[in-house]
Amino acid sequence: MSGFPDDIPFFDEDDPTPPPPAAQKPSGIAARAMAARSGGPDTRYLDALNPEQRLAVETTEGPVLVLAGAGTGKTRVLTTRIAHILASGRAYPSQILAVTFTNKAAREMKMRIGTLVGEAIEGMPWLGTFHSIGVKILRKHAELAGLKSSFTILDTDDQIRLMKQIIQAEGLDDKRWPPRQFAQMVDGWKNKGLAPKDIPEGDARAFANGKGRELYAAYQDRLKTLNAVDFGDLLCHPIRILRDHPDVLADYHRKFRYILVDEYQDTNTAQYMWLRLLAQRPKSTEPVNICCVGDDDQSIYGWRGAEVDNILRFEKDFPGAAVIRLERNYRSTAHILGAASHLIAHNEGRLGKTLFTEQSDPDDPKVKVHAAWDSEEEARAVGEEIEALQTKGHALNDIAILVRASFQMREFEDRFVTLGLNYRVIGGPRFYERMEIRDAMAYFRIVAQAADDLAFERIVNVPKRGLGEASVRQIHDVSRMREATLLQAARDLVGTEEMKPKPRASLRTLVDNIERWQGMLDRTPHTELAEIILEESGYTDMWKNDRSAEAPGRLENLKELIRSMEDYDSLRGFLEHVALVMDAERDEELDAVSLMTLHSAKGLEFPTVFLPGWEEGLFPHQRALDEGGRSGLEEERRLAYVGLTRAKRNLHLWFASNRRIHGLWQSTIPSRFLDELPEAHVDVAEESNSYGGYSAGQPGRPNPYGKSRFDDQPAFSNSYATPGWQRAQKNRTEATTRNWGNRSGHQVERIGYGEADSGYGAGRGSVKGRVIEGELVAKSVSDTPSSFKVGDRVFHLKFGNGNVAAIEGNKLTINFDKAGQKRVLDGFVERV
DNA sequence: GTCCGCTACCTTTTT
DNA sequence: GGTAGCGGAC
């Protein structure tokens, strides 16, 4: 989403002089750092390290793999290593390539290196995300990829809209072949570095009756004409450039003396290829100074193309590599580490690390496992516990709730709202993804880069100005005929009689406006221009006249957008920033509980952590099991490991016996991961309102640990047919029975809560109203028509006799004689 | 051209 | 049960 002038200098911040031999005196930061130590070398920064960390920092030459367990000081090692390379005069800042995955990580590294070296570093031009460095390379060599250096970066939304156009242009039905799905396929290919001609036949055939390859090629063509790239291209184009142009590659080889990679376990194939190209010097015996830092146990992004194998294979890829393990943990208590280590040990195919701590205190609390009747009670109990902590003076900022899936957040939010407890959701819809922001940005884009057709399309009728589908089609036709941009086509069209007077007039106003704004681009301060655009286009008015609840917030966001533009010195600079840096900072002032998914919690830590929803089907997620088999399960287990290791001191795991899944209440069984925790470090909470123990047959006690009850499944190819699943089903029945046995006792308590709690129990009846309308079964929803007929007399284990009133797939609506009307799965009733 | 109601979805997410 | 996105009605 950004335009860039062709003449922008890319390497101006780089040192133009040839690289110094290590002994020679460097300039810039390194020189300052060296100058600072008048006597012997000032290596005080090394004193803060433990022996392993120090080894990782001082092994500067040759390939190094640092296996850094959770909380072992990974970032410290990375930043100190860079500081060390600089301070010892081994390289200029511009000769170090340091890649991260997120902007946040890059920012943090920059800051910490700055602190170590004693000055803010302006001079680390090659520290950034894979994507931002990709942009940099691509802008410099755009013509080698058939682009102009002013290319635009499309985000996912633009990408999907473009795909839609292409699918329709091919005469295909976009219902049958959803653009979103195709975008995902293309993403997958790009993650593997595959061009249209490289994709496997099977893949090509899988979409649109074998048209997958053509569509992909058409999409790439279209991008080229638009002078645009998507996120995947930011990796793929540089790879192709480096591979096809040895002279260019050689330049970068000369340039980068040290390469550092953060979170190496998350790299995908394309990123791996990119790194290999830059790191390997085929015709030289010169050692490759590449240092990858990562933790195979925290690889949780396989589903988006990350290859754990990259880290597992490192020693083969880089012969003679030093492998350094960081296992000394500074974050968590021995109980938490014990639990996490024991859990992760159930995974195969890991490099193997065991975290330990030297700070052990007999007072440390064990990991607590809690049972709740259902997800509402889970939220309520966690809320109470947090209130209790707050009363004791615990800061809410020190507390986090980490969920497997974002729908779980709702109940906690609801609960916190009623309690008046401050909370913040991390990782929700991002600022720059909001509609109003994207609209405004589209206006800025079309002004900054007139060829940005996608931007033009987005705003042509926002606010509504009577330019609907018909008008847009006309513009498109002209644009195709004349091979002109949409804006040019629109300009031409208003000069003819082709449009009806009304749309023509409003299109003329729009085009006039855009051209006027373009004329102002270089003469008007960009924040001022931005305000003018939003004002004159009628965009601000649109929201001012909107009476919906969100409108004021949207206006506020627009103001915030303008405010944030002040940090950049031009509209173009701002657009470039936004294309890549899609995050907004959080409000640090507020004392609030953090609520987020396990995925977004990676890298964070909190004194107190709640992990709700440890149930089969949710965590591990059924879909991970179905689609990922054994490796899917292992990734879920790593996710559990990530969750556990976020906690510093207090760790609470929860599971509920009943949860609403796709609208139906289902009975659930505790997660197998609970069985995989070591008894020695875990306490099962015996709350007054607890609903029985979590382990089949041993209420209140964990299973003897070691082998999980699911462990000896050969494979999960069809998880429902495996002995493990059968057993799970059996256990499930036992658990359910037990829960039902307990039920009435809890119901009383529940009703007490229920009265105070708005609408609690309403619609689900009173005492008998805690309806379990199904159970965690494989086919909770199925297209297979039920064998029942309307009017059939049936029997249900819990609800008794009734008549089938309606059938929807395998879901039956039954009028029970005593329990009233319920919807249940057909597997739970039998004909009588 | 716009609005509303129905249907199909429903894991995780960065750039 | 909640929502997004599409198609039909005005």
Whether A184 shows a pLDDT value over 80: the answer reads: yes
- Which of A161-165, A238-242, A438-442, A739-743 has the weakest average pLDDT? A739-743
Residue A684's SS3 state is: strand
Whether A752 shows a pLDDT value over 50: the answer reads: no
Where do runs of H (alpha helix) occur along A51-199? 51-58, 74-87, 103-117, 130-140, 156-169, 179-191
Q: How far: A405 CA to B6 C1' (Å)?
A: 27
What is the C-alpha to C-alpha distance for residues A541 and A539, in angstroms, rounded to an integer? 5
Q: What is the pLDDT of residue A178?
A: 84
Question: Which nucleotide across the nucleic acid strands is nearest to A781, CA versus C1'?
Answer: B10
Q: Residue closest to B14, CA→C1'?
A: A102
DSSP state, A70? T
Q: What is the pLDDT of residue A503?
A: 86
φ, ψ (nearest 5 deg) of residue A361: -135, 125
Q: What is the pLDDT of residue A157?
A: 83
Q: Concatenated DSSP letters for A1-34?
A: -----TT--SSTTS--SPPPPTTSPP-HHHHHHH
Q: What is the mean pLDDT of residues A5-32?
A: 43
pLDDT in tens, A486-522: 999 999 989 888 888 888 888 999 999 999 999 999 8
Helices A179-191 and A269-279 meet at what angle, rounded to 10?
30
β-partners of residue A801 are: A795
Q: Which of A325, A237, A245 is nearest to A52 (CA)?
A: A325
Q: One of A15, A158, A263, A457 is an active-site residue; which one?
A: A263
Where do runs of H (alpha helix) occur along A646-722? 672-675
* Number of neighbouring beta carbons within 10 Å of residue A138: 23
What is the C-alpha to C-alpha distance for residues A287 and A57, in angstroms, rounded to an integer? 17
Q: What is the mean pLDDT of residues A104-131?
A: 84
For the range A797-806, what are the long-range contacts, defined as Cβ-Cβ under 8 Å and sequence gap of 24 or more?
A797/A828, A798/A740, A798/A772, A799/A824, A801/A832
A579 annotated as a binding-site residue: no
Q: What are the residues whose beta carbons fall under 8 Å from the beta carbon of A47, sequence distance 6 or more? A: none
Q: Residue closest to B12, CA→C1'?
A: A599
A72 annotated as a binding-site residue: yes
Q: What nucleotides of chain B have any atom within 7 angstroms of a protein Cβ?
A: 1-3, 9-15
Q: How far: A275 CA to B1 C1' (Å)?
A: 52
Q: How far: A548 CA to C8 C1' (Å)?
A: 25
pLDDT in tens, A624-635: 998 888 889 999
β-partners of residue A682 are: A367
Q: What single letter denotes the amino acid at residue A642?
A: V
Q: How far: A464 CA to B2 C1' (Å)?
A: 10
Residue A263 is a catalytic residue: yes
Whether A828 shows a pLDDT value over 60: the answer reads: no
Q: Are A470 and A452 in contact (CB under 8 A)?
A: no
Q: Which of A27, A22, A46, A34 is nearest to A93 (CA)?
A: A27
Q: What nucleotides of chain C have any atom within 7 angstroms of a protein Cβ?
A: 1-2, 6-7
Q: What is the pLDDT of residue A474?
A: 87
Residue A75 is a catalytic residue: yes
* Number of neighbouring beta carbons within 10 Å of residue A576: 23
Residue A795's SS3 state is: strand
Whether A425 shows a pLDDT value over 60: the answer reads: yes
Counting residues of chain A whose pLDDT is more than 70, the rounded percentage is 78
Q: What single letter denotes the amino acid at residue A777?
A: V
Q: One of A155, A158, A262, A377 is an active-site residue; which one?
A: A262
Residue A298 is a catalytic residue: yes
Place of tokens 């640090």: A588
Q: Residue closest to B10, CA→C1'?
A: A662
Instruction: Give pTM, 2 decimals.
Output: 0.78
Q: Are strands A64-68 and A322-326 parallel, antiparallel or unpaired?
A: parallel
* Contact flag, residue A823 CB and nucleic strand C, below 7 A: no
* Contact flag, residue A782 CB and nucleic strand B, below 7 A: no
- Which of A11-20, A110-119, A716-725 has the weakest average pLDDT? A716-725
Q: What is the pLDDT of residue A454?
A: 87
pLDDT mean across residues, chain A: 79
* Contact flag, residue A660 CB and nucleic strand C, below 7 A: yes
Residue A391 is a catalytic residue: no
Helices A501-520 and A469-482 meet at what angle, rounded to 10?
60
Q: What is the pLDDT of residue A554?
A: 83
Angle at A700 between CA A699 and CA A701, to 5 degrees: 95
Where do runs of H (alpha helix) occur along A486-570? 486-494, 501-520, 526-536, 539-544, 551-565
Encoded tokens for A131: 């994507």
A73 annotated as a binding-site residue: yes
Residue A79 is a catalytic residue: no
Counting residues of chain A whose pLDDT is more than 90, the rounded percentage is 42
Q: Are A740 and A691 in contact (CB under 8 A)?
A: no
* Contact flag, residue A466 CB and nucleic strand B, below 7 A: yes
Q: What is the pLDDT of residue A26?
A: 45
Q: What is the pLDDT of residue A164?
A: 85
Q: How would you class A392 by CB atoms within 10 Å of its CB: exposed for 0-12, middle for 13-18, buried for 19 or more?
A: exposed
pLDDT in tens, A650-708: 999 999 999 988 888 888 899 999 999 999 999 988 654 444 333 333 333 333 333 34
